[in-house]
Amino acid sequence: MTLVKTLFASSALATLASGVAMADPALIYDLGGKFDKSFNEAAYNGAKRWTEETGGSYKELEMQSEAQREQALRRLAETGANPIVMTGFAFSDVLTKIAPDYPDTKFAIIDMVVDQPNVQSVVFTEEQGSYLAGVMAGVKSETDVVGFIGGMDIPLIHKFECGYAQGFKSIKPEGKVLINYTGTTPAAWNDPVKGSELAKAQKSQGADVIYAAAGGTGIGVLQAAADEGILSVGVDSNQNHLHPGQVLTSMVKRVDNAVYDAFLAGTDLEPGVKVMDLAAGGVGVAIDDNNQALITPDVQAALDDAAAKIQSGEIEVHDYMADSSCPVQ
């Protein structure tokens, strides 16, 4: 009995202590790593902006292996972090399991829908952003062949591929999209050598614009495209600066905004599904000083046209994840 009492008291104390330290939000990066120049880095930038603007502090954690997910999530929840934001679809199973155990903690997951009362699921309409990238590639392509290089072969990346193909076909109905995936394991996100080799293979088949949705592997794709004198399209973060004048654009996913909003909302984070689409500024194509010269008036016109039509609903870009198939090939 005494033992139970002691335990009870200490756990109450722990709760109290964590209550004091509470309200620090937390961010978990997925396997790509914090500075992948892409998806996770965008999340980091959002958190950084929040820190700069509010002066608050947050906890962060980088995943090193698949096995850590549950442990990492529980650890953060135990320490009283609230809300906990995680980047990446891979957290969905773990979060579904853990969320009910911490009803007072708010979670936000990016790129996946988890149906729990204390979880906000942030999803991006990557197909819309990729569609715009496809439109630009379609106008720019002289060979009528463009390439797509995905990282790990998963439905989410097919969503990028499918949107891109639809956009390209809307400009060049007879054109051809070459499609490669780097691999089927998480190592596929970090293999720039293979990325560059895939880009060279696509170039030799006539591709003159290559879209890389492949994390760190994409760095190799962009490099090879620049070496070979063809255009590339970056992804997630703005990657135009990596090879100025040789990256046509970047399909940006404002993961930073999603993280920033979640941090700002704090414990009042609204559960449910939050769709970050083109109209909401969640996705788009990056145009800055580095690629301004490539954006000729015809590209700009096609781009504006497509963007307006998507926002008005005139063009409905098919979402691969809705039925696991793509209307165009």
What is the contact surface with another protein in residues (CB under 8 A)? Answer: 33-37, 41, 179-181, 183-184, 187, 190-194, 196-198, 200-201, 204-205, 216, 219-220, 223, 242
Nearer to another protein, 2 or 204 (CB): 204
Q: Which CB, 126 or 191, lies closer to another protein?
A: 191
Give me the amino acid identity at 240.
Answer: N
Residue 214 backbone zone (phi > 0: left; psi -120 to 50: alpha; other: beta)? alpha
User: In terms of CB distance, is 70 or 197 closer to another protein?
Assistant: 197
Closest distance to another protein from the beta carbon of 187 (Å): 5
Q: How far is the CB of 193 from another protein (least distance, A)?
A: 5
* Comparison of 87 and 118: residue with beta carbon closer to another protein: 87
Closest CA to 254 of 39, 25, 30, 35: 39
Contacts of residue 56, defined as CB under 8 A and 6 or more positions apart, other chains included, come to 24, 25, 50, 263
Taking the complex as a whole, the smallest distance from the CB of residue 250 to another protein amounts, in Å, to 15
Which residue, 59 or 200, has its beta carbon nearer to another protein?
200
Rounded to a whole number of angstroms, the minimum distance from the CB of residue 119 to another protein is: 27
Angstrom distance (rounded) from CA 312 to CA 305: 11
What contacts 285, CB < 8 A, 6 or more positions away?
129, 132, 133, 136, 249, 250, 251, 252, 303
CB of 212 to another protein, least distance (A): 13
The amino acid at residue 35 is F
Indicate the helix (H) or strand (E) that contains 288: none
